[in-house]
């Protein structure tokens, strides 16, 4: 599913109008119909529209007319003088008046308060600001947003909740908290990132007739269920365990044997044909053959951590189809050399997580020039150590950070967060839409490492393994949360969820 920035949306709009000859008013009418359809079921007691000075307001004026003509009581406030309306918004204003509607021009906060006081309508519609938002909201618009957020009837947002930056999802001053957002033609990146995503409520993407081929090369996307299903490795009836790869996980240390088990469960529930855990030998009695499906190999260790193990690991990696390194590894000065040896001396697709990333941060230059896929799965703190950005700056612009690092070092970056983003070396970006706050707990990332390593081992490219892995991991957490809730959800609960998600994606 495509995701656009406001800038790309404006270009798309312009191409549809100027190159294809779509009248702008036709697009606005289609947008208004989709908005009307979302408002209608809630408008038994009438609908109150708050409209701004641009085309977002124009959509609202058109939707108000459509509902009025259906017999629905509507009241419309315009937060500018009608004389200042331009183009299609002006045309919609005149149509509304000719169809018997009334529009109250609101010049100040007192007029707004008088208009809104005791409003009888059962739904409010936010058509104040859309993709044209270009500065922090203040004054009259801020008062209107404050009123919408302070009252109890549901709010439907037109295109994007007013005050949410359509690109980065930031709140510019203040923003509308909507129950539902009807967005046009494509998702906007600001609706995929927090806090914008939360302010939007349920999101509906409405087709307004713009040909899909315009900007079909747009680099941003979000996996729908169907997109994810198409990426799942297919299984032929006449296949065997060798057909689905042999994944290796280099993981675990004294006190963190559980990470190895969690990661192993992630790989085993994601279709790997075979799995070998490579661990400090002292951990083997602790694991005690659990999980039974995994083979175990003891690596040299020091103080409970893998140490001096490069040669042993390299020979054990012969014949493996993917390697994941990091879960529960602990910090050891020797890990950097282990990672460098694997990067330089194998062509096995590789995932690096957790303390593997902290080791890599010593010199990410060792990533350069590797032909086989490398997937990094940092959280913002690990990302900061890797790239030198401040955590705060990464949180402000996770896409910019992930894209820059992925392009610079030729790897796939899966930057974790409430909205995980995955960037490819070529500049493609997937926003992950699955997952929930219950997954913000220790061990969740270990499971993800296992999932992605298993997918790499089954032949998926780095970008597809990371984005499908992120999708199924989040969806497994969502399934588990239905049973366990957010507070009681543990990483182990996600293993069975993974199996169920893959079953659904495979049509079973």
Residues 6+ apart with CB under 8 A from 54: 89, 129, 130, 132
Nearest to 315 by CA among 295, 352, 341, 287: 341
What is the DSSP secondary-structure string of 250-312?
E---TT-HHHHHHHHHHHHTTT-SEEEEEEEGGGHHHHTT-STTSEEEEE-EETTEE-S-HHH
Interaction between residue 9 and ligand LP7C6HRI (CB under 6 A) = yes
> 205 — phi, psi (to 5°)?
-100, 120
Are 27 and 89 contacting, i.e. CB atoms less than 8 angstroms apart?
no
Among 42, 50, 51, 58, binds ligand LP7C6HRI (CB under 6 A): 58
Scanning 50-58, 258-266, 281-289, 353-361 for contacts with ligand LP7C6HRI by CB under 6 A, the matching segment is 50-58
354 is in an annotated binding site: no
Interaction between residue 159 and ligand LP7C6HRI (CB under 6 A) = yes
134 is in an annotated binding site: yes
Among 27, 34, 343, 360, binds ligand LP7C6HRI (CB under 6 A): 27
From the CB of 175, what's the least distance to ligand LP7C6HRI, in Å?
10
Site for ligand LP7C6HRI in 163-192 (CB under 6 A): 184-185
CB nearer to K ion: pick between 3 and 145: 145
What's the gap between Cα 346 and its chain centre? 32
From the CB of 210, what's the least distance to ligand LP7C6HRI, in Å?
6
459 is in an annotated binding site: no
Structure tokens given for 279: 């661990």
Site for ligand LP7C6HRI in 390-449 (CB under 6 A): none
Number of residues written out for the chain: 508
227 is in an annotated binding site: no
Nearest to 127 by CA among 178, 185, 168: 178
318 is in an annotated binding site: no
Site for ligand LP7C6HRI in 123-152 (CB under 6 A): 129-135, 137, 141
CA distances (Å), 358 to each of 326, 334, 369, in order?
A: 9, 12, 20
132 is in an annotated binding site: yes
Q: Which does 263 bind (CB under 5 to 8 A by kind): K ion, ligand LP7C6HRI, none?
A: none
Residues 6+ apart with CB under 8 A from 503: none
From the CB of 362, what's the least distance to ligand LP7C6HRI, in Å?
45
Among 5, 39, 48, 52, binds ligand LP7C6HRI (CB under 6 A): 52
Q: How do strand 322-325 and strand 301-302 relate by DSSP bridges?
A: unpaired
Tabulate helix, strand, coil % of the chain (nearest 5): 45, 15, 40
130 is in an annotated binding site: yes
From the CB of 22, what's the least distance to ligand LP7C6HRI, in Å?
9
The footprint of K ion (CB under 5 A) covers 126, 157-158, 162
Q: For 415, how many CA atoms within 13 A lie in the half-sphere containing its CB?
A: 29
Where along the sequence are the contacts to ligand LP7C6HRI (CB under 6 A)? Answer: 9, 13, 27-28, 31, 52-59, 129-135, 137, 141, 158-159, 184-185, 208
């Amino acid at each position: 599913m495509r995701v656009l920035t406001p800038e790309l949306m404006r270009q798309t709009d312009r191409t549809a109008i100027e190159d294809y000859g779509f009248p702008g008013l036709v697009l606005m009418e289609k947008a208004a119909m989709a908005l009307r359809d979302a408002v209608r079921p809630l408008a038994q007691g009438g609908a109150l529209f708050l409209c701004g000075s641009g085309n977002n307001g124009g959509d609202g004026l058109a939707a108000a007319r459509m509902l009025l003509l259906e017999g629905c009581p509507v009241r419309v406030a315009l937060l500018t003088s009608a004389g200042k309306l331009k183009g299609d918004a002006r045309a919609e204003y005149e149509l509304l008046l000719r169809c018997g509607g009334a529009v109250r021009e609101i010049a100040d906060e007192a007029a707004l308060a008088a208009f809104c006081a005791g409003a009888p309508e059962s739904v409010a519609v936010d058509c104040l600001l859309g993709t044209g938002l270009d500065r922090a909201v203040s004054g009259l618009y801020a008062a209107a947003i404050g009123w919408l957020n302070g009252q109890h009837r549901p709010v439907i947002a037109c295109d994007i909740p007013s005050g949410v930056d359509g690109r980065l999802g930031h709140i510019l001053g203040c923003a509308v908290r909507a129950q539902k957002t009807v967005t046009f033609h494509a998702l906007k990146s600001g609706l995929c990132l927090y806090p914008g995503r939360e302010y939007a409520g349920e999101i509906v993407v409405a087709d307004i007739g713009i040909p899909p081929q315009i900007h079909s090369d747009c680099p941003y996307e979000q996996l729908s269920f169907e997109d994810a299903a198409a990426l799942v490795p297919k299984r032929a009836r006449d296949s065997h365990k060798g057909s689905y790869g042999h994944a290796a996980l280099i993981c675990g240390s004294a006190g963190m044997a559980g990470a190895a088990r969690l990661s192993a469960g992630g790989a085993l529930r994601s279709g790997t044909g075979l799995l070998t855990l490579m661990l400090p030998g002292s951990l083997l009695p602790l694991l005690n053959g659990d999980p039974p499906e995994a083979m175990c190999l003891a690596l040299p260790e020091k103080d409970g951590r893998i140490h001096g193990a490069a040669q042993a690991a390299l020979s054990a990696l012969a014949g493996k189809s993917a390697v994941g390194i990091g879960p529960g590894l602990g910090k050891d000065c020797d890990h950097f050399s282990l990672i460098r040896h694997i990067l330089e001396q194998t062509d096995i697709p590789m995932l690096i997580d957790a303390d593997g990333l902290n080791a890599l941060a010593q010199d990410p230059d060792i990533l350069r020039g590797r032909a086989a896929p490398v997937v990094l799965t940092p959280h913002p703190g690990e990302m900061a150590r890797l790239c030198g950005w401040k955590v705060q700056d990464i949180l402000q612009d996770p896409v910019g950070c992930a894209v820059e690092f992925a392009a610079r070092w030729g790897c796939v970056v899966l930057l974790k967060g409430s909205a995980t983003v995955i960037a490819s070396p070529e500049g493609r970006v997937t926003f992950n839409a699955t997952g929930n706050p219950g997954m913000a707990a220790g061990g969740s990332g270990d499971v993800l490492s296992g999932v992605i390593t298993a997918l790499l081992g089954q032949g998926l490219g780095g970008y597809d393994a990371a984005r499908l892995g992120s999708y199924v991991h989040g969806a497994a957490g969502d399934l588990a949360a239905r049973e366990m809730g957010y507070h009681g959800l543990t990483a182990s609960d996600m293993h069975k969820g993974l199996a169920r998600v893959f079953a659904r994606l495979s049509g079973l």
